[in-house]
Amino acid sequence: MAVFEYAPAPESRAIVAIASHYGLFIGGEFVEAEDGHPFKTVNPATEEVLAEVTAAGPRDVDRAVRAARAAQEKVWGPMPAQDRAKYLYRIARIVQERSRELAVLESLDNGKPIRESRDVDLPLAAAWFFHYAGWADKLPYAGLGPDPRPLGVAGQVIPWNFPLLMLAWKIAPALACGNTVVLKPAETTPLTALAFADICRQAGLPAGVVNIVTGAGETGAALVSHDGVDKVAFTGSTEVGRQIAQTLAGTRKRLTLELGGKAANIVFDDAPLDQAVEGIVNGIFFNQGHVCCAGSRLLVQESIHDEVLDRLKQRMTTLRVGDPLDKNTDIGAINSPAQLAKIAELSEAGQAEGAERWSAPCELPQQGYWFPPTLFTGVTQAHRIAREEIFGPVLSVLTFRTPAEAVDKANNTPYGLSAGVWTEKGSRILWTAERLRAGVVWANTFNKFDPASPFGGYKESGYGREGGRQGLEAYLAH
Ligand code: NDP
């Protein structure tokens, strides 16, 4: 098959002004750390240092929590709900207005293709603020009792795969419900959260309502264990989520956890195959596979296995891997050397355990962290690549014969975040979906998000829901 050659179409980075050094955003201003230390954030596509950022120490976290408390009690909590809504609408509009700048910044710091940051992350981040702005003055009608009240101060810890979008998922509902927040972005992707701090200033948000403390795991641990935090919201690995749940056990703090996944993407023999192949590609190669709900286990009905694999390999051959700022790029850089090492280690385990590895032929850049789009066939349910979250562009292909076997295999995982079903029969979609133990089930599509739709997991994928009316519950006492 002929593959089109595309001339480079780089997005200009001139729209972004990155400072050489950033402090912490506490009490409405950028301040230097009292007991923190500087660290660097790099562009994973080039290894270029983008900025020096500050890791907050325990005293800094304490300052941020106290600023959030004062703002909650004196300003944000007592404020009429309609006025809180106005601030959220203002933030939503500024995110939209500055979306090109934020998209470029996200791609620089995270390595994701500009097409995705521009067309997915940014529109959804703005949509989240618009959605929850609408809820701010309608909380008594959310079905959570006639007089729902804010919890107080929320400590929020987010990962590096969708930095600004995860910030929006956390901050928008918290503020709409009258809480104030201290948010810690991931160590490798702090820049859009710091840009968001500037947006809060631009929106005139009262000081202390949003505080951003950058840093690594220790900063996150200091935040979630701080006595002044009433609610903890965490998105990240199951391992750290489990540690946080243990730390908080027996305390009065409320906790929601959005953890890992190992989603099954089930393709029945009556599925529209061209669409299914697009859905498989989108399911696992979107955002380099750094997606908690990625369709990382393809369950394909045995009778169509060979045909699906042929078409899939052909499609994977056309994926363009490279410069995240090029508008033609499909797959960008792996976010960090640590993540690259994890993907490589699990892929080697797949080979060692007997699965057959195939990678799309592509030239990887010399600098930066890269992994080619890869699939494994001959995978069994016992293989590590069928059980563990790889969090990279690696698909494990398994087969099934009957719908019951598909459901059994799909549910045979400690996780339960998402799943996909491809078939032309509506009755089969419903039959399958009601048997899948997954928080989200997509039918004839994959990786679709909407702020009105709740998202969250079963089992080791965590608990609590984010998004929609259900997402309000995590931030309200009722
Ligand atoms: P982590 O769970 O370690 O990171 C998530 C966030 O928690 C980051 O902000 C992190 O800071 C912070 N953190 C780390 N340790 C603690 C702690 N003890 N207390 C409070 N906060 C803490 O994920 P990693 O980035 O280390 O990725 C490891 C693996 O986790 C990945 O390979 C992937 O499999 C999975 N993962 C899954 C995600 C999902 O959404 N399902 C998201 C991210 C990762 P810091 O960035 O400094 O480590």
Is 1 a residue whose pLDDT tops 60? no
Q: Which atom belonging to ligand 1 lies closest to the Cα atom of 243?
A: 18
Residue of the nearest CA to atom 9 in ligand 1?
A: 186
Distance (Å) of CA 448 to CA 8, 210, 451: 29, 28, 10
Residues 54, 182, single domain; the answer is yes
Each residue's pLDDT tens digit, 194-239: 999 999 999 999 999 999 999 999 999 999 999 999 999 999 999 9
In this model, does residue 4 exceed pLDDT 90?
A: no
Sorting pLDDT into bands at 50, 70 and 90, what band is 9?
very high
Nearest CA to ligand 1 atom 26: 237
Domain extent for 78? 13-259+458-477
Statement to judge: residues 60 and 120 lie in one domain:
yes
At 61-119, the pLDDT tens digits run 999 999 999 999 999 999 999 999 999 999 999 999 999 999 999 999 999 999 999 99
Of 172, 146, 169, 174, nearest to 158 (Cα)?
A: 169
The protein residue with its alpha carbon nearest to ligand 1, atom 29, reads: 237
pLDDT at residue 23, rounded to an integer:
98
Q: How do residues 434-475 score in pLDDT, each as one tens digit?
A: 999 999 999 999 999 999 999 999 898 888 899 999 999 999
Coil/strand/helix, residue 171: helix
Q: Half-sphere exposure of residue 97, counting CA atoms within 13 Å on the CB side? A: 10
Distance CA 233, CA 220 (A): 11
Q: Is residue 451 in some structural domain?
A: no
**What's the gap in Å between 217 CA and the centre of ligand 1?**
8
**What does pTM read for this prediction?**
0.97
CA 232 to centroid of ligand 1, rounded, Å: 15
Confidence of residue 478 (pLDDT cuts 50, 70, 90): confident
Does residue 345 lie within any of the structural domains? yes
Alpha-carbon separation of residue 469 from 121, 150, 155, 171, 299 (angstroms)? 21, 15, 21, 15, 32
Ligand 1, from 184, 240, 440, 459: best to mutate by most atoms within 8 Å of Cβ? 240
CA dist list (Å): 23 to 34, 191, 404: 11, 11, 55
223 & 284 share domain = no
Element (H, E) at 297: strand 297-301
Helices 426-433/403-411 angle, 10° precision: 40
Regarding whether 272 and 195 lie in a shared domain, the answer is: no
As for ligand 1, residues whose beta carbon falls within 6 Å of it are 157-161, 184, 186-187, 216-217, 220-221, 224, 235-237, 240, 243-244, 259-260, 292, 339, 342, 389, 391
DSSP track, 209-240: SEEE---SHHHHHHHHT-TT-SEEEEES-HHH
Q: Is the pLDDT reported for residue 273 higher than 70?
A: yes
User: What is residue 463's predicted lDDT score, i.e. its pLDDT?
Assistant: 87
Same domain for 253 and 274, yes or no, is no
**pLDDT score, position 3:** 59
The verdict on residue 68 lying in a domain is: yes
Protein residue with least CA distance to atom 12, ligand 1: 217
Q: Are 247 and 268 in the same domain?
A: no
Q: Read off φ and ψ for residue 150, nearest 5 degrees.
A: -65, 155
- Per the CB < 8 A criterion, the answer to whether 444 and 115 are in contact is no
- By alpha-carbon position, which residue is closest to atom 18 of ligand 1? 221
Residues 280 and 366 in one domain: yes
CA of residue 337 to ligand 1 center, whole Å: 14
Q: In this structure, which residue's CA is closest to atom 43 in ligand 1?
A: 236
Which of 177, 200, 292, 293 is flagged as catalytic?
A: 292
Average pLDDT over the chain, rounded to an integer? 97
Q: Sign (positive/negative) of CA torsion 198, 203, 206, 212?
A: negative
| pLDDT digit string, tens, across residues 150-192 | 999 999 999 999 999 999 999 999 999 999 999 999 999 999 9
Q: Is 116 a catalytic residue?
A: no
From the list 116, 187, 258, 388, the catalytic residue is 258
- Residue 391 CA: which ligand 1 atom is closest? 34
For residues 373 and 395, state if they share a domain: yes
pLDDT mean over 2-23 = 89
Which of ligand 1's atoms lies nearest the C-alpha of 216?
A: 47
Residue 123 lies in a domain: yes
Distance 97 CA to ligand 1 centre (A): 30
Residue reference for tokens 């080619």: 372
> Is 280 found in the same domain as 251?
no
User: Is residue 258 annotated as part of the catalytic site, yes or no?
Assistant: yes
pLDDT, tens only, 283-309: 999 999 999 999 999 999 999 999 999
Q: Is residue 184 part of a domain?
A: yes
The answer to the question of residue 453 being in a domain is no
pLDDT tens digits for range 374-433: 999 999 999 999 999 999 999 999 999 999 999 999 999 999 999 999 999 999 999 999
Q: Which atom of ligand 1 is nearest to the CA of 224?
A: 20
Domain count, the chain: 2
Residue 2 lies in a domain: no
Which tens digit of pLDDT belongs to each residue from 26-76?
Answer: 999 999 999 999 999 999 999 999 999 999 999 999 999 999 999 999 999
Q: Which atom of ligand 1 is nearest to the CA of 188?
A: 46
pLDDT of the residue at 6: 83
CATH code of 296's domain: 3.40.309.10
295 and 250 co-located in one domain:
no
CA angle 18, 286, 194 (to 5 degrees): 25
- What is the pLDDT, as a whole number, of residue 2? 53
Same domain (yes/no): 287, 223: no
Q: For residue 57, give the CATH number of its domain.
A: 3.40.605.10
